[in-house]
Structure 1
Amino acid sequence: MSVSERYRQAWESYWNETSDAPGEAIWDVDPSLSAAPHVELLAPYADAALPIVDLGCGNGTQTRYLASRFPRAMGVDLSWAAVEHARRADTAGVAEFRQLSLTDREGVRELHDELGDANVYLRAVIHQSDAEDRRPVAEAVATLVGKRGRAFVAELTQESKATLGRLAGGPGGPPAKLRRVFDHGLRPADAADTEIPELLAAVGLEILAEGPTALAQTEQWADGSRVELPARWFVVGRNTA
């Protein structure tokens, strides 16, 4: 199975038209608002001596932070342009980046063979994947964690679609960063709330902890407050029972 050409081209064009400026992507927040608190939720369950893989790493902002918490951090993304952004931004060379489609089962298995069991960071990837690709993405998580790794999964809830609707419906229409998401045919908050835990269970992952959260964005409301999208987080590991 391979990811649809439409989906791949959508992400390639998005990242090709995104500058290297931090925060130009609507989700490209400082790690203090994203990976840092997420790692604190993951830490009680994860072996910090294992490497960590940031799936859907984009321009690598969160991956570089993860490299400060784990002995080896690798960001992977479907888009070559995203990987190039990430490599340019990593001036200190703290992380590794490579292009990989999570629907490429052989490529994911080869990555597991290279790294061994690993921890996984998956922030807001399943909800905007094409419906037929969501299970393969979950399978990629299960393959990479193996027996010893743990994954932190955060996904937008359906409530966030209404939040995005309010943001897009302002007097001037969607703000620039959100407009670019729509213009490139990306579909945020497209998965049902029940789909995420069902997918994780279906691929043999056990939910060890979960809770509500909000994913900070780089856009602001008219009153200057930060846009935050309702989401849910899960810490999962392979069910070996």
Structure 2
Amino acid sequence: MPNQNKDYTESKLYLISYYLYSVILTSFYFILTNVLFVITVFLALISFQERFFTVPVILTAIIISLIPMGPAWAATLFSMKYILENQFYSLTKNYFKAYNKYFKKSLLIWLSILSILILSFINYWVILSTETLNVLIFPLFAIILITVSVGLYVFPLLIDYSLTKIQLLKLALYFSFKKVFLTAFFLLFLIGMVILFVYLPLAVVIIGPGGFALCLQYFCRKVFKKVHAEEEQM
């Protein structure tokens, strides 16, 4: 009987089922820890239609509600790391343990990234309102792409390496350029999820956060190990 149970838990069907279960449950926890953002967006849509508040007030409320997303994303990636290592412990315990463990550092990193993105979008609208600064749109677009790329790598690095915030951001920038094709793949994956959300919002909410975290961790872990091995040989 023990051998039969072991064979069952190591079967492909069991692993696929457990991965799907993990993706859905982790996505739920990601949404749960970002419930402020969900509620704010819902109220913002109502306020925008009924004109209860001005656009700047609505945007400010949405930006504030985005603040907890950094620790939530770090916890999601941490949970996916253990799933990829076939360490099938309590997902709930792992998620909230990581949320507390990486809260401060992930929050500071996320605030840095969020601040750059907000300033970039403000500059974008300023550029659009003038006719003489249109040439700056392309450099600004490049800054946004680089910032998002750094954001994609920095959280998996946070999970795997005990480095300072500045060191993590520098290393994430390094990987963004060194693995440019993988970075492009991640960006296209992210854009695809946004487009899919327009047509299938419920499906993206259910499997999107966990699914993207699983994909991101899978490829990042391979890249980190390969680069580390190359550096040891030099």
* TM-score by shorter chain over 0.5: no
TM-score, normalization by structure 2: 0.26
Q: As a proportion of its length, which structure holds more strand?
A: 1
Q: As a proportion of its length, which structure holds more helix?
A: 2
Q: Which has the larger radius of gyration?
A: 2
